[in-house]
Amino acid sequence: MSNINATGAYRLTGTAISISELAKNKPGMVVKATDEQIAEIKLHEEQVQARDAVNNRYAEQHPDKVYGQVVVDGKLFATVYDSGVATMPYQIPGLSNEGFGTELTQTRLAEIAKAANGEIIHSSFFPDAGISFRSAPESDLPPVTARSLIDFTRELSWARERSRMEAMEQRVQGQDSPLGETKVK
């Protein structure tokens, strides 16, 4: 076991145990994946990477257009794209999700300007990161047929729980009943 004291947003303080140590100390807590499961996890990762590649190519070919920007004291505060997506340094709670397209974009731009006490501009934009938020239509994306890691985790968790329930049932069958009746073995 080792003691971990890290700084940062995700700080872990206390005793940490490696998976190999956990497997040695508590063998029932760690289960080795089968070769079939490992192959399916690898297939899932490959399929997700293929989808990501298609989405990235699509985003590069169909960039979002800047609809407007909010300027506060001469500095860029937020950029709102024609898709309604907004980029800004601070999160503003309660932005509208009603409507779509230009209606949603105009509403969000006005809400951000009001919250930041800024001015809306529709031309001579400040340089932007050029981020695109569009994704390819689902019909253009390769399918993901393999189960995900979370599906495997659920399967293993259920198998472990079933095993625990069976062990408890076997112990109960070998003991006296809570009603005072003796179980026949």
Render pLDDT for 94-128 as a digit per residue (tens, 0 to 9).
888 877 778 888 999 999 999 999 999 998 888 86
Name the residue among 117, 55, 109 with its Cα closest to residue 82. Answer: 109
Q: How many residues does the chain have?
A: 185
Cα–Cα dist 92/129, whole Å: 20
Residue with structure tokens 């689902």? 138
- pLDDT tens for 45-84 read 999 999 999 988 887 777 678 889 999 999 999 988 887 8
Tokens representing 84 are 């309604």
Q: Which helix (H) or strand (E) holds 22?
A: helix 19-25
The pLDDT of residue 179 is above 70: no
List, for residues 124-145, the tens digit of each pLDDT value: 888 865 566 667 888 888 999 9
Contact 76, 89 (CB under 8 A): no
Q: What is the pTM of this model?
A: 0.49
pLDDT tens readout for residues 21-54: 888 888 777 777 789 988 998 999 999 999 999 9
Classify residue 37 by burial, with Cβ atoms within 10 Å: 0-12, 13-18, 19+.
Answer: middle
Q: Is the pLDDT assigned to residue 12 strictly greater than 90?
A: no
**Sequential DSSP letters for 40-76:** HHHHHHHHHHHHHHHHHHHHHHSPPPEEEEEEETTEE
pLDDT tens for each residue of 150-174: 888 888 788 878 888 888 888 888 7
The DSSP result for 89-133, as a single string, is SS--TT----S-HHHHHHHHHHHHHHHHT-EEESSSPPP------
User: What confidence score (pLDDT) does residue 121 get?
Assistant: 94
Tokens of 35: 């070769």
